[in-house]
Amino acid sequence: TLDGCRNAAMIQCASSKGSTYSGGIAAYLNQGKALNCGNSGNVSASSTSDNCYSQSGGITGFINNSGEITACCNSGRIISASSYENSYSGGIAGYIDDSGEIAACYNSGSISSFYNNMNAFYRYSISGGIAGYIENSGEITACYNTGRIVANVDGEYDYEYEYGIAYGFSSSIVT
């Protein structure tokens, strides 16, 4: 459990050989908990590797397996960029999977995701005020966002999504 943690430093994660996960408090939260944590530092993740994702968030880049984030906040700038696969950015978490939960959190920072490969098709750049993407019974409850949200793609058949809270499906809940 991470309780009462604070970050004001810049966090940068870049890879040419694999997926990237970047967070102001934890890069990857698997079955763990983050309580009463805050980030005011700029956080970025970028991947230039084939078949690899880029995920960044104010608290964590990726949360899964019933991980929980409660009463946390972000005011830092969050950026995720990818050249081959999807890019996800969120004020609290870049990606929520497998019953991950976020409750009573807020974001006031700027959130951006970029995808820039003109030769690949049907890729995504997704930004959300709380989470970039949520699936497989993930849950967001009692959260809010006041930050600016941007998603950009360069390819003709690629997609960009910008959401105030999160983009999601597959039995996920946002209330």
Mean pLDDT by 10 residues, the chain (175 residues): 97 91 96 97 91 92 95 98 89 94 97 81 86 91 96 78 82 75
Rounded to an integer, what distance in angstroms lies between the CA atom of residue 159 and that of residue 35?
Answer: 34
Q: Tell me, what's the pLDDT at 174? A: 79
CA 155 to mean position of chain CA atoms: 22
Are 131 and 94 in contact by the 8 Å Cβ rule? The answer is: yes
What is this structure's pTM?
Answer: 0.93
Rounded to an integer, what distance in angstroms lies between the CA atom of residue 152 and that of residue 113?
Answer: 6
Q: Tell me, what's the pLDDT at 96? A: 93
Rounded to an integer, what distance in angstroms lies between the CA atom of residue 74 and that of residue 95?
Answer: 15
Residue that the structure tokens 């890069």 belong to: 27
At residue 130, what are phi and psi to the nearest 5 degrees?
A: -105, -50
Nearest to 29 by CA among 70, 74, 64: 64
Q: Tell me, what's the pLDDT at 157? A: 66
Q: Tell me, what's the pLDDT at 51? A: 78
Q: Tell me, what's the pLDDT at 95? A: 94
